[in-house]
Amino acid sequence: MKKYLFIDIISCLFIILFLYTGFSKLLAQDSFRAILIKMPLPIRYQPLIGVGIPVLEILIAFSLLIPLFKENNTLRNWGLIGSFFLMAIFTLYVGYLLKYFPHRPCSCGGIISLMNWHQHLYFNTTFTLLALSGLILNKKKEGSSRRLSLTD
């Protein structure tokens, strides 16, 4: 029972994080794109990243939100996989910036923009590990649900 609650807590943390960051990037699209231009990213991908990342964050949040109201382990699993990969990419990118770029513009909004880059790396690493934990627990839950339905 506790591991199921833990999966819900992890899901809620990602829902809050991704809805907050996704909508803040979409609502402040001009400033988000202006910062992206300063980032060490290929120029041709910046428009795609400018819209794609916030939309992806919102889609992942909804894939984690829906199972809180209607049991859908597959949708939650996809949301946790998306959370893990997105956070892993963000974590690797922050680590890359810390190692190779002395000038690092931050494209984050709100409270997260108040963090320094090392704090940002720790935050992203923690959330990457949370997503991985949620994914592992959700897989175990899925396996135990299957065993229960087979024995019924």
Residue type, 121: L
The candidate with the shortest Cα–Cα distance to 95, out of 125, 70, 75, is: 125
Cα–Cα distance, 55 to 75 (Å, whole number) = 17
* pLDDT, tens only, 135-145: 999 988 766 65
Domain residues for 114?
A: 2-143
Continuous H helices in 70-116: 73-100
pLDDT at 151: 46
* pLDDT, tens only, 58-115: 999 999 999 888 888 889 999 999 999 999 999 998 999 889 887 766 666 667 778 8
Q: Is the pLDDT of residue 152 over 90?
A: no
Asked if residue 149 belongs to a domain, the reply is no
Asked if residue 72 belongs to a domain, the reply is yes
Asked if residue 134 belongs to a domain, the reply is yes
Asked if residue 40 belongs to a domain, the reply is yes
Asked if residue 83 belongs to a domain, the reply is yes
Decide: 79 and 64 in contact? Cβ < 8 Å: yes
* pLDDT, tens only, 3-31: 679 999 999 999 999 999 999 889 988 88
Asked if residue 117 belongs to a domain, the reply is yes
Cα–Cα distance, 3 to 76 (Å, whole number) = 14
Asked if residue 148 belongs to a domain, the reply is no
Residue type, 84: F
**Full-model pTM:** 0.85
Residue type, 104: R
41 compared with 80, residue with greater pLDDT: 80
Asked if residue 60 belongs to a domain, the reply is yes
The residues, any chain, with a CB within 8 Å of residue 32's CB and separated by 6 or more, are: 25, 50, 54, 107, 109
**Domains in the chain, number:** 1
